[in-house]
A and B are shown apart, each in its own frame.
Chain A
Amino acid sequence: MKQAVIHVHPAGLLMALVGNPNCGKTALFNLLTGSRQKVANYAGVTVERKEGRFTTPAGKTVRVLDLPGAYSLYPRSPDERVTCDVLYGRATGEKRPDLVVCVVDATNLRRNLRLALAVKRLGLPCLVALNMTDIAEKRGIKVVPETLAAELGMPVVSTVAVKNNGVESLLKLIDEQATWRTLPPVAANVEATEHGDHIAVRHILQKLGLDEIVPHTTSDRIDRFVLNPVLGPLLLTAVLFMVFQAVFSWAEAPMGWIEDATTTVGELAGAYLADGWLKSLIVDGVIAGAGGVLVFLPQILILFFFILVLEESGYLPRAAFLLDRFMGWVGLSGRSFIPMLSSFACAIPGIMAARTIGNPRDRLVTILIAPLMTCSARLPVYALLIGAFIPQREVGGFFELQGVVLFALYLAGIIGAMGVAWVLKQFTAAGRQVRPLMMELPSYHLPTVRNVGIGLWQRASIFIRRVGGIILVSSVLLWFLASFPAAPEDGDKSQIEYSYAGQIGKAMSVAFEPVGFNWQISVALIPAMAAREVVVSALGTVYSLSAEGEEETEQALGSLISETWSLATALSMLAWFVFAPHCLATLAAIKRETGGWRMPIITAVYLFGLAYLAAFLTYRTALWFGLG
């Protein structure tokens, strides 16, 4: 049964930012509201409606919506539909905006103005924010806002959303309600006027003296190299390879500092706290658990440094272009590339970004394989195991072996995803169609230190909040399960083996014995369902509690497992984590995006199945090679 919902909208002005993809709507939104929504140089960054608020100089509070970019008011994918729904007043839980700010890219008025005219025809009060005027100026495109305003019949403000220029004039204009409140006349016949828009735009460009096409010399020159059939793929491989090398080699020193710091804190706590459950909670639960995950912050930041630079430069859609053919073999298109790449940060934004894919089958397949991309939460797990088991030495005189193994793990995830897509292609007829690409290649931008800095700061705080939140909570929970009930007086094994956690682990290890996991790993896999990094903190707690003597407690987890596990077990665990869906938030996102339990259940089942199979094969092969 459907319930009637009565929406109460907050009073005050509602303003919407509308424009073509990648014209700077979110940058402007962030500037107006002080928020930190994601800005990047490719089409389809924003895929949902985001709300913020700001106060105008006259003291009015304005609610503002940042919307996904659209090429027209006829949606071709779920993200564009969000924008159209808002403009037509069909969006759930939101009224029709009182004011639309059409953000227009000054370097591409030819296409951008058409949408502005179409929005104007809807009869909504409109302003135009003429954005990217800095780049336009550099290219010799001079647009006089007043002339443009006269031609369009709408107020125009010129802005540079990345440099805080023009915001005051925009705010002032928003206050002058009389200038934009007057409704523009609505044309009766939409079909006829669409062609009319095009002719009107040509007319305006001629009037402004901008009907000459200005070539983008710099971007074109870079593209000649980047998109070259031979050099392009080589460059792409080199870039990816360099990222993984850097993740290990640059992180070494800062990781050492954090490790030293946590050890010192652990020793201090050990020395000053009285023996008892509180000491155990702090030393074994908090410091050995959550603290052990904090060590991986530098590696995560290095990975994100590269992701941010690549996103901001405009290289990503080029990489998608280069890989389009490859994606075609497995029944996907280059359009799936950016959602998959976003999944290297975290599968959730990747699953959301699949909204930009118009074809429903492709969108679903992309959602199903996004969790196979190596997200940053796997990095601590990989780094722990690689650091403990893979010797640090050079191979081929140039590459670092640990970096090579990490690269191989990322590759394993990609190959797994492609394999799944290929299998799905065999079963769905639509997998063999020609699917549209029509993907914009934006001009290159030089990433600014400020933007990358802000992005890194955000990532660091997200990670630290995770450590202090979900990871800490699950460490403490596990500590509890692993500490009670206490061992009997005459017990001859370590206390943890009598606890709930120990019993659960022993029971589970029956199932995991064939893949070489001991009971400690089996226990750690349960809290790790909350988040992958938790397996590191959980192992930290389990080993810290089962330690016999003082010196063993203080030993770093890495050296501890390298002494007690076989290489075969470590490799098997790596294989398990390439596939296993240890992340409830991802499954929840899949449920949200597909609207039901079916897909998240299918995803969980197939990924656990693959994980078990991969771990089994890895373990048996390793044993066969005598690595037991």
Chain B
Amino acid sequence: MNKFDCSTSTATLETAGIGETLAVLKVHAPVAAPEWARWLEEIGFIAGEQVSLMARAIPGGDPLVVRVGQSTFALRRAEAACVSVVPVEAFASSSSLERLALGGAQA
């Protein structure tokens, strides 16, 4: 297994279908590049933000075009794999999920 691999059991942006409207659940960085989590958050991947996969350079390949909030970014697959996502409706309806994702932020 690749040390840049940070895929979890939940769905990530990497495996999302093109055009699906999703919400960020959480960002987790791979062991080899812990700084990615902060960087991704800085460009807008924050729990609750609306994201979607817009395009792939090659079907199934690297890199990806991703919409996050109002911005568009080119991301590598390994980067997109750090972003776990849920369908927006699931995020909005589940207040427990929201609390989990924003945990402690209100403090």
Contact = CB atoms under 8 A, between A and B. Distances in A.
Interface of A: 71-72, 74, 76, 107-111, 192, 195-196, 198-199, 202, 213-214, 216, 219-220, 223-224, 227-229, 317, 320-322, 324-325, 328, 334, 433-434, 436-443
A321 B63 contact: yes
A322 B57 contact: yes
B95 interface: no
Interface string B39-75: 1101110101110001111110111010001111111
B49 to A, nearest CB: 8
Q: Sort A-B residue pairs by CB-CB distance and give the 8 closest, nearest first.
A: A195-B105, A110-B69, A72-B42, A108-B70, A441-B72, A71-B42, A434-B4, A439-B74
A440 B33 contact: no
Interface residues of B, number: 41
A216 B72 CA distance: 10
Contact of B63 (A72, A198, A219, A324): A324
Contacts, number: 113
B35 interface: yes
Nearest to B107: A192
Contacts of B11: none
Contact of A436 (B33, B49, B65): B33
20 contacts: A71-B42, A74-B42, A76-B35, A111-B70, A192-B107, A195-B102, A223-B54, A223-B72, A227-B65, A321-B63, A324-B57, A324-B62, A325-B58, A325-B63, A434-B33, A436-B36, A436-B39, A437-B79, A441-B73, A442-B72
Interface of B: 2, 4, 32-33, 35-36, 38-40, 42-44, 46, 48-50, 54-59, 61-63, 65, 69-76, 78-79, 102, 104-107
Given A71-B42, A71-B43, A198-B46, A436 B62 contact: no
Given A74-B42, A192-B107, A229 B57 contact: yes
B69 A213 contact: yes
Contacts of A229: 56-59
Please report whether the interface of chain B is mostly helix, strand, loop or mixed according to DSSP. loop
A214 B58 CA distance: 27
A317 B74 contact: yes
A325 B71 contact: no
A386 B78 CA distance: 46
Given A110-B49, A219-B72, A322-B57, 19 more contacts: A72-B42, A76-B39, A108-B69, A110-B44, A110-B70, A192-B107, A195-B104, A214-B70, A216-B72, A223-B72, A227-B65, A321-B74, A324-B63, A433-B32, A436-B39, A437-B79, A438-B43, A441-B65, A441-B72
Output the residue of B36, B56, B58, B69 with the most chain A CB within 10 A: B69
Nearest to B46: A198
A20 to B, nearest CB: 9
Nearest to B61: A325
A113 B46 CA distance: 14
A186 B67 CA distance: 33
Nearest to A111: B44
